[in-house]
Amino acid sequence: MDNTRLRYLLSQYANKKLTAGEQSELSDFLNGADNQTQLELLIEEAWIQSGDNEEIPFSLPQLTQEPVQTSIQPVYWQRWAAAVLLLIVAAGAWMLATRDRKGDKSSRALTEDTKKDVAPGGNKAMLTLANGHEIALDSSMKGTLAQQGNVHLQASPGLLKYDPGNSSTNSGVAYNVLRTPKGGQYRLELPDGSRVWLNAASSLKFPTAFVGKERRVELSGEAYFEVAKNAGQPFFVSVNKANIAVLGTSFNVMAYADEAEIKTTLLDGAVKVSRDDASSLLKPGEQSLLEPNGKMHVIEKADIDLAIAWKNGVTSFKSADIKTIMRQVERWYDVEVVYSDAIPVRSFTGDIPRDANLSELLRLLEISKIHFKMENRKLIVMP
């Protein structure tokens, strides 16, 4: 396929105007191993022609770009080249999302020193029972794992469920801890029916039964909650020194120790975030940012999709610098990131499927002329 035809198909794809025949044509091209070099050269050409962009969009399939014209006036050349870059990278991300899972998944070397690719994380966690017994969880776990009082611990692929059974009596409350390692994630259904998605390098401490006037859990790391409504027994999340009060709602909490702020993003319902004398009552679509010094402010129109992208299977960034991206890479791919020298200050916006291998993400970032080298499980970032 010549470059003119390819640019046209990419622009049609970005504008969601592909016909069935054009979609098939583009899909065949993108999935053809022999076409990789042509695609990379077109990306490089667009990058060079667009100049030194400060914002590097490595995957923006949700954006609508200006159609590519057959003749371009010089005054519009830079904007056109940047648009081509967006289109090509968007198509690359689309290729990753729709690639044949049964096909060839072998990785290509990022540099001559790259010996092995790194697979993405998956469903794995460690459950520590109140008596100290530990149970390793993964996608293959099924059936009853244990019984604590009247509660049965049921496992299905990627999900741990606490089933209180039919008994109305309570023979005692025990506290368990679910921990995900780097490169792990897991889902949990609490005894009251509330559901929790636990992101990588996170932990949740919770009781086997909610008794008394409140329901309370303790979080470190990141989790998405869908809390079962019970006005008579409000739900609380303790995270670091902050407290999140809930009646029944869906929200995301990001509170990693290596991040600058605790971010609480509300999808629906209502939550109150408080610490010491600072507090905020969030409305749906809002996000609170709590700084280590206790200062809090609220973003009224938060990027909800960005906040819960991880839960929906996407690695996503918006105006993020390379170190912000690499912190997420460390958690999801379980690698150590080091910097060989000062890295140019650039920001990135975009996304890639969370089940992509590390090399697939890095290849997109390398368009910005930031380079990577893998030594065992150490990822070296180079200018």
Q: What is the pLDDT of residues 73-103, one digit of tens each?
A: 333 333 334 444 444 444 454 444 444 433 4
Q: Which residues pair with residue 294 across a beta bridge?
A: none
Helix axes 20-30, 77-98, angle to 10 degrees: 80
Tens-place pLDDT, residues 144-161: 888 888 888 999 989 999
How does the average pLDDT of the chain come out, rounded?
79
- Half-sphere exposure at residue 17, Cβ-oriented, CA atoms within 13 angstroms: 12
Question: Is residue 4 pLDDT above 90, yes or no?
Answer: no
CA angle 149, 137, 189 (to 5 degrees): 55
For residue 258, name the pLDDT band (cuts at 50, 70, 90). Answer: very high
Question: What's the confidence (pLDDT) of residue 277?
Answer: 85
160-170 residues labelled b (16+ CB within 10 A) or e (exposed): bbbebeeeeee
C-alpha span between 150 and 168 (Å, rounded): 9
Phi, psi of 68 (to 5 degrees): -80, 130
Domains present along the chain, CATH in parentheses: 1-104 (no CATH), 106-119+313-383 (3.55.50.30), 122-307 (2.60.120.1440)
Helix axes 20-30, 3-14, angle to 10 degrees: 120
